[in-house]
Structure 1
């Protein structure tokens, strides 16, 4: 089973998001505009990582 963790550092106008595996290894990072829901952020960063 694949386990992923998503962290969100929220600023006034953007979100810095990081995707990690179960060992804490950074898989991807992204700066996303404010206004996206957490679900949309998770989908976007996973899509970006898995389509590289």
Structure 2
């Protein structure tokens, strides 16, 4: 996995955590869910990249 991909995935994960926390603090369930969704997307992208790396070896 390239450093750029890692950085983008980490940024998306941190953004998702921030959205989730903001949703919790403001009582906005849609924002909280959007944050959780962003985190899951980031996790899936990271997993996909790891699988690609495993097949390259």
TM-score by length of 2: 0.31
Structure having greater relative contact order (Cα 8 Å, sep ≥ 6) = 2
More strand by share: 1
Rg larger for: 2
TM-score by length of 1: 0.34
More helix by share: 2
